[in-house]
């Protein structure tokens, strides 16, 4: 059995050592840029960032917390998310970051399971509904921009504490084996699991990430990035927060809100940008809403005007300065990657997990092919099990699942490879192609397995389709549940437009089925009425579909849909 690996230089610097070097050597360099409303921003230099973090760290130590105490953090992305984590680390604690959209029940589970002793509460949209998840008596501190004090006026505020506390002095170190963070999985398949990462792992993986990004970008004097994917998730934590903390020559901008996102992006003018497939798709749909796909294709094909048009499109998205563009967290279609590359954006796909601190496989200019997630990154080894499961051994590998040694044992092979649960195959040059999750495979009455992800990718390429989910276990054939794009969702109430959408979806069904084997072909498309969202429990915090939740919500109606003669059914 072939094992794929790429050699790397040994040794790494601890992340806290890097941070404290930047505090001295880059003291007056702007590190964080935070929108504060009314179109205004507040810049924080490295000196200011560490000054606030050191002051809060002293306060945490004054509470008598023992080494490794779990300290919670729930907030949308903001400058003080990073400062709070630095304060936790400098004080000797371990961060437990919760998704800002988490339900009250999940908040309670994570805080109680992790034995969190204090909770930082930042900028949130629904704290009034979430606050009941905080266990009675748990100490809380409100970050700047938090609405929590409006509901609990006596809650201590970050600003007041740092204004009245002297910061920790001198160089602070942590052992490589100290736990830096517990990353609770988003729970797409059940109860969240606490993934343990120590300082050695996050330092090693982050330094390797710095080297890779510098190789792709030529290491400019200043990297500019926009942080908007949840920092509570390892993808953003690794590729934005920890990368910037190790690299130093990074300026991190934050987004104020969904309504200001385009302005925030245009302010940042990032030269590095990462996103998830659903957002790459939404960006494309936004372009198509202004310029029909056929018209844009014709303009891009013009040898004289094509480059100008492409530059204008990227500028409208705020991506015209991007040198390094990446997609991760879920599979992205090859066609969508090719579309961005036609615009001149060299979009690269990667593959990793919470359990390997987002350091596993990635595309590089010399190893990049739409539909593939690249090769094993330096220091990573990967192979396939006899069943076709991808097995990975990464420098970013977790210590284990918190309080679940049984799950930790199940997650690894006898020789230390992590069982990803994903299926795939390798090209002779080591390029990896994902083909789906093992647990997502299902059989129809035809008796052969159907892999949903490749079919969903074909469906999602259509401008009308925002998201799709293929299902149909035990049915005569598979079907697909469809969520329309925002533009077309708004048109479904118009009978004439609905008829046009139905005809177009019927053609899509025919086109997709023509590419599939007989046992994979779809019997029908079901157009869902209610959009899937994080709030209604159909999407994870990183906008992946929750298959179990969606299937449970349609279970009782599935047979009636199959009983209809139509190829396109309106739910």
Percentage of residues in the chain with pLDDT exceeding 90?
70
pLDDT, residue 457, reads: 87
pLDDT higher than threshold 80 for residue 35: yes
Confidence of residue 134 (pLDDT cuts 50, 70, 90): very high
pLDDT higher than threshold 80 for residue 8: no
pLDDT higher than threshold 60 for residue 292: yes
68, 74, 75, 81 alpha-carbon torsion, rounded to 10°: 0
- Nearest-5° Cα angle at 378, 273 to 234: 45
Residue 538's contacts (CB-CB under 8 Å, 6 or more residues apart) are: 532, 545, 546, 549, 550, 553
List of domains in the chain: 22-173+221-235 (3.40.50.12780), 272-320+323-438 (3.40.50.12780), 441-570 (3.30.300.30)
**Residue in the structure block whose two tokens are 């918190």:** 402
The mean of the pLDDT values for the chain is 92
Query: Tell me: the pLDDT tens digits for 96-120?
Result: 999 999 989 999 999 999 999 999 9
Least confident of 41-50, 151-160, 451-460: 451-460
pLDDT, residue 186, reads: 64
CA 92 to chain centre: 27
Averaged pLDDT, 453-472: 91
Determine the Cα–Cα distance for residues 165 and 150; give it in Å rounded to an integer. Answer: 24
The candidate with the shortest Cα–Cα distance to 37, out of 75, 83, 78, is 78
Query: Tell me: the pLDDT tens digits for 481-508?
Result: 999 988 888 888 888 888 899 999 999 9
Three-state secondary structure readout of 242-281: HHHHHHCCEEEEECCCCCCHHHHHHHHCCCEEEECHHHHH
Determine the Cα–Cα distance for residues 110 and 438; give it in Å rounded to an integer. Answer: 27
Confidence of residue 5 (pLDDT cuts 50, 70, 90): very low
Query: Tell me: the pLDDT tens digits for 353-405?
Result: 999 999 999 998 888 888 899 999 999 999 999 988 999 999 999 999 999 99
Least confident of 250-254, 378-382, 529-533: 529-533
State the DSSP code for 519.
Answer: G
**Residue in the structure block whose two tokens are 């999985």:** 185
Which tokens hold the place of 545? 């579909």
State the DSSP code for 403.
Answer: T
pLDDT higher than threshold 80 for residue 4: no
pLDDT higher than threshold 60 for residue 248: yes
pLDDT higher than threshold 90 for residue 330: no
Percentage of residues in the chain with pLDDT exceeding 70?
97
**Number of Cβ within a 10 Å radius of residue 330:** 17
Determine the Cα–Cα distance for residues 183 and 401; give it in Å rounded to an integer. Answer: 9
pTM for the predicted model, two decimal places: 0.85
Determine the Cα–Cα distance for residues 355 and 339; give it in Å rounded to an integer. Answer: 31
Averaged pLDDT, 4-30: 81
Residue 470's contacts (CB-CB under 8 Å, 6 or more residues apart) are: 450, 452, 455, 456, 459, 478, 479, 480, 481, 522
pLDDT higher than threshold 90 for residue 548: no
Helix (H) or strand (E) holding 85: helix 79-91
Averaged pLDDT, 304-330: 91
Taking CB atoms within 8 Å and a gap of at least 24, the contacts of 346-353 are 347/280, 348/216, 348/324, 348/374, 349/373, 349/374, 350/326, 350/374, 351/422, 351/432, 351/434, 352/235, 352/328, 352/394, 352/396, 353/234, 353/392, 353/418, 353/420
Averaged pLDDT, 307-329: 91
Determine the Cα–Cα distance for residues 371 and 331; give it in Å rounded to an integer. Answer: 9
Which tokens hold the place of 123? 């900028």
Averaged pLDDT, 86-101: 97
Determine the Cα–Cα distance for residues 199 and 93; give it in Å rounded to an integer. Answer: 12
pLDDT higher than threshold 80 for residue 191: no
Please say whether the beta carbons of 217 and 86 come within 8 A: no
CA 320 to chain centre: 22
Phi, psi angle pair for 481, to nearest 5°: -90, 130
pLDDT, residue 7, reads: 39
pLDDT, residue 187, reads: 52
Task: Classify 482 as helix, strand or coil.
Answer: strand
pLDDT higher than threshold 90 for residue 441: no
pLDDT higher than threshold 70 for residue 188: no
The candidate with the shortest Cα–Cα distance to 114, out of 169, 181, 159, is 181
Determine the Cα–Cα distance for residues 321 and 342; give it in Å rounded to an integer. Answer: 16
End-to-end CA distance of the chain: 47
Averaged pLDDT, 335-352: 92
Please say whether the beta carbons of 460 and 525 come within 8 A: no
pLDDT higher than threshold 60 for residue 140: yes
Determine the Cα–Cα distance for residues 531 and 484; give it in Å rounded to an integer. Answer: 8
Task: Classify 533 as helix, strand or coil.
Answer: coil
pLDDT, residue 125, reads: 92
Helix axes 306-317, 293-301, angle to 10 degrees: 130
pLDDT, residue 1, reads: 41
pLDDT winner (highest mean) among 19-33, 205-219, 261-275, 478-492 = 19-33
pLDDT higher than threshold 90 for residue 32: yes
């Amino acid at each position: 059995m072939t094992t794929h690996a790429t050699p790397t230089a040994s040794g790494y610097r601890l992340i806290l050592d890097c941070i404290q070097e930047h505090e001295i050597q880059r003291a007056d360099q702007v590190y964080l840029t935070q929108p504060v409303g009314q179109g205004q921003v507040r810049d924080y230099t490295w000196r200011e960032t560490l000054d606030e973090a050191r002051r809060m760290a002293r306060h945490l130590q004054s509470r008598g917390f023992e080494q490794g105490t779990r300290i919670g953090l729930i907030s949308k992305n903001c400058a003080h998310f990073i400062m709070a984590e630095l304060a936790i680390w400098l004080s000797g604690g371990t961060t437990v970051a919760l998704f800002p959209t988490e339900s009250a029940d999940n908040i309670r589970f994570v805080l109680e399971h992790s034995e969190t002793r204090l909770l930082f509460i930042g900028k949130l949209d629904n704290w009034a509904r979430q606050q009941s998840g905080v266990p009675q008596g748990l100490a809380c501190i409100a970050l700047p921009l938090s609405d929590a004090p409006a509901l609990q006026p006596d809650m201590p505020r970050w600003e007041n504490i740092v204004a009245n506390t002297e910061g920790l002095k001198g160089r602070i170190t942590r052992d490589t084996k100290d736990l830096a963070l517990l990353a609770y999985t988003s729970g797409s398949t059940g109860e969240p699991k606490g993934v343990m990462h120590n300082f050695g792992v996050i330092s090693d993986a982050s330094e390797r990430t710095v080297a890779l990004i510098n190789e792709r970008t030529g290491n400019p004097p200043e990297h500019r990035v926009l942080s908007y994917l949840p920092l509570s998730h390892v993808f953003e934590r690794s590729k934005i927060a920890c990368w910037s903390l190790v690299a130093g020559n990074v300026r991190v901008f934050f987004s104020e809100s969904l309504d200001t996102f385009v302005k925030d992006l245009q302010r940042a003018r990032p030269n590095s940008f990462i996103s998830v497939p659903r957002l790459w798709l939404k960006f494309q749909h936004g372009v198509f809403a202004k310029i029909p796909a056929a018209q844009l294709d014709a303009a891009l094909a013009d040898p004289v005007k094509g480059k100008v048009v492409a530059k204008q499109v990227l500028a409208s998205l705020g991506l015209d300065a991007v040198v390094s563009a990446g997609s991760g967290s879920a599979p992205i279609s090859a066609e969508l990657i090719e579309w961005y590359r036609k615009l001149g954006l060299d979009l690269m796909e990667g593959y990793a997990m919470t359990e390997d601190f987002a350091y596993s496989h990635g595309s590089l200019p010399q190893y990049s092919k739409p539909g593939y997630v690249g090769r094993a990154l330096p220091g990573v080894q990967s192979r396939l099990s006899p069943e076709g499961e991808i097995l990975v051994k990464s420098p970013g590998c977790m210590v284990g699942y918190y309080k679940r040694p049984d799950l930790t044992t199940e997650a690894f092979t006898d020789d230390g490879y992590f069982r990803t649960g994903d299926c795939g195959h390798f090209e002779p040059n080591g390029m990896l192609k994902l083909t789906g999750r093992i647990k997502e495979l299902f059989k129809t009455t035809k008796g052969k397995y159907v892999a949903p992800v490749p079919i969903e990718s074909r469906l999602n390429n259509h401008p009308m389709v925002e998201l799709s989910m293929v299902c149909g276990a035990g049915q005569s054939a598979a079907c697909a549940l469809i969520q329309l794009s925002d533009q077309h969702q708004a048109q479904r109430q118009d009978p004439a437009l609905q008829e046009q959408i139905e005809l177009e979806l019927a053609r899509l069904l025919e086109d997709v089925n023509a590419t599939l084997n007989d046992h994979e072909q779809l019997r029908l498309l079901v157009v869902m009425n209610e959009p899937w969202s994080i709030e209604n429990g159909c999407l994870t915090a990183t906008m992946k579909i929750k298959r179990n939740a969606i299937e449970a919500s349609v279970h009782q109606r599935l047979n009636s849909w199959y009983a209809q003669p139509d190829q396109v059914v309106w739910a």
